[in-house]
Amino acid sequence: MAVITLPYKYLERLTRTDKKTILDKIALIGSDVERIEEDHADVEFFPDRPDLFSPEGVARAMRGYLGIETGLPSYSVKPSGIKFTIDPELANIRPVLGAAVIRGVSFDDESIQSIMSLQESLHWAVGRGRSKVAIGIHDMDTVRPPFHYIASRPSRGFIPLDFKEKMTMAEILEKHPKGRDYAKIVKDFPLYPLIVDDDDHVLSFPPIINGERTRVTIDTKNILLDTTGTDKRAVGVAVNIICTAMAEAGANIESVAIGGVQTPTLAPAERTVSVMECSRLLGIDLTAATMAELLRKMRFGAEPDGADTVKVQVPCYRADIMHDWDLFEDVAIAYGYDKIQDLPPKTFTVGKPHPVQVNAALAREVFCGLGYLEVMPFTLTSEDVLYKRMQRPGRPGVLHVMHPISIENTVVRTELLPLLLEFLTLNRHRELPQRLFTVGDVVDSCHTYQQASGVSTHPEADFSEAYASADAVLHELSVDYTVKESADPAFIEGRRGDIIVAGKKIGVFGEIHPAVLTAFELEHPVAAFEFDLRAVPGYPVL
């Protein structure tokens, strides 16, 4: 999530109201206030609204929401006369380039920090960690246009930002901290992307690092923005968000010619939406006029066009407006969620429990009647617990998690009994007898189904207790079963039985093998059983 620092003085100046008015309402446009400090607030905004990742963007939205300035913000763009060329070799490497000239900026340490943090937030939310979009900001007065976006040999060198010596691009990927962080985006290509000026000075090695030459300082007056990436729309949005934020701060935006096309235009997109559709979705009565007014509050250009239609101009920085309903959400926000009448729907329906959960609830009831206490172990476990300590062979249907977080969480459970034994280990110091049960999901390959299992430990726990308990639960659940001698190595030979239903083994009961007890560091005998709840009549075929 993007947490944006909003310095009060700057925010108040841009919004043209006091900080209390702003902070009281800021959550209502979609944010979480994280911290209120002496001189600033830290506010979290959602990833679909990267246009709010700067104080300038927040002020723009709040001016609208508070009614200080509504409707479409307009930005004028003059051509700078500057050209970019693109090397066709980049087509399979990093084909998309966006750029702009931002003139008349006045930086101090704080505002440099602010634009750097906007840049980083955009890298995260729009750029997918710079792979889709990467942004470079340069002091334009240190280089000479036209500029060239080229594919260059990794052996080419320049002085990267924050370094004193020249390094080759290959070295940067190995040694520079940013190089190491983002190397994976370019390292497999034979040539790397590079932006140079007409004197062959390096501006940037996107998406890794800028050159030291074009470093932005408090003396910087004019900025050259470069944005490279793999997705045309995302690159365009990033350029628009930065340019409009800088324009809000008082700078002038100029376009550049990339392959002959002037960019950016900062022009709005057009959408025509239905008032009826919006009213129906939100459950509020709207006219075209009120809907247009609400949209203007959210900084859209909006005018009624007949009784059921509103013509909307979507500002160029609103990356999230993909569908008409995205506009309807803004209508709802402007209207106020607290003012929408909240009535449950009228349609008559009847509640219906799922048979799997009905059976599970019944099994729980029977276990409780036998004095068993329910526990709810994790479903992620290890083969050590499931098989090795149980002396059981591994199951072919066990599912391995591809990137486990720890060695205790490498597979999804295929049975419940080992987890109950683990529970007894955890509670060794507690009073005996302990009788525990669990009912829940296990997997067999990609298929999920339910099992039930119970354990009882105390100095007299034995085969007859296991048999009696298993029989009671199976009987109560109407499972018509027979028993035959088991070969399950988790149990003592001659004190173990397989539960057979329709000729198929569905469970096992008996006295846990002393070697298994030792593996679980248990000191008293354990009477145990487990079975497949699919054997219970009424279990649906899923």
Partner 1 sequence: MAELTQNEKRLLAVLVKEEKAEAPHLADLLAATQEAVVQWAHLAEDKGLATVERIVSKEFVYTDEGKTYLKDGLPETQLLRFIHPGTQLADLQKHEAFKIGFGQLRKKGLVKVEGASVAKAPGASTDADEAALKNPSATDTKTKDLFKRGILQETETVRYTVAITPEGFALAKKGLDLREETGTLTREQILSGSWKTANLRKYDVTKLPKKAYPGKIHPYQRIISEMREILLEMGFEELYGGIVQQSFWNFDALFQPQDHPAREMQDTFYLNETLPLPPGYEKVKAMHISGGETSSTGWGGVWKEEKAEQCVLRTHTTSVSIQHLARNPNPPVKAFCIGRVYRRETIDTTHLAEFEQLEGIVMDEGVTFGNLLGILREFYHRIGFEGVRFKPSYYPYTEPSLDAEVYVEGIGWIEMGGAGVFREEVTAPLGINYPVLAWGLGVSRIAMLRLGLKDLRYLHKSDVAFLRETPSLRQNKGGI
Instruction: At 157, give phi and psi (nearest 5°).
Output: -120, 160
Q: Using the rule CB under 8 A, which residue among 39, 76, 343, 503 binds partner 1?
A: 343
CA distance 135 to 245: 14
Dist. CA 102–CA 89, nearest whole Å: 28
CA neighbor of 99 nearest in space, from 166, 143, 64, 149: 149
Q: Which of 47, 79, 537, 538 binds partner 1 (CB under 8 A)?
A: 47
Shorter beta-carbon distance to partner 1: residue 343 or 502: 343
Q: Whose CA is closest to 386, among 400, 372, 367, 402?
A: 400
C-alpha distance from residue 328 to each of 280, 305, 309, 425 (Å) = 10, 17, 13, 56
Nearest approach, Cβ of 261 to partner 1 (angstroms)? 18
Binder to partner 1 among 353, 393, 396, 503 (CB under 8 A)? 353
Q: How far is the CB of 322 from partner 1 (least distance, A)?
A: 5
**CA torsion through residues 16, 21, 22, 25, sign:** negative
Nearer to partner 1, 137 or 278 (CB): 278
Binding to partner 1 (CB under 8 A) within 9-38 occurs at 27-30
Q: DSSP string of 470-533?
A: HHHHHHHTT---EEEE---TTEEEEEEEEEEETTEEEEEEEEEPHHHHHHTT--S-EEEEEEEG
In the complex with partner 1, the residue whose CB is nearer, 164 or 400, is 400
Residues 458/526, Cβ–Cβ less than 8 Å: no
Binding positions for partner 1, 206-245, rule CB under 8 A:
231-233
Here's the x/- map for partner 1, 379-398, by CB under 8 A: it reads as xx------------------
Interaction mask 427-456, partner 1, x per CB under 8 A: x--xx--xxxx---x-x-xxxx--------
Considering only residues 247 to 286 of the shown chain, the ones binding partner 1 according to CB under 8 A are: 271, 280-284
Which is nearer to partner 1, 306 or 369 (by Cβ)? 369
Binds partner 1 by CB under 8 A, chosen from 101, 133, 172, 375 = 375
Residue 164 interacts with partner 1 (CB under 8 A)?
no
Query: Over 156-193, what HEC string results?
Result: CEECECCCCCCEEHHHHHHHCHHHHHHHHHHCCCCCEE
CB 256 within 8 Å of CB 262 = yes
Which residue number, 422 or 498, has a Cβ lying nearer to partner 1? 422
402 binds partner 1 (CB under 8 A): yes
Q: Among residues 112 and 443, whose Cβ is nearest to partner 1?
A: 443
Among 199, 342, 407, 503, binds partner 1 (CB under 8 A): 342
Decide if residue 326 touches partner 1 (CB under 8 A). Answer: yes
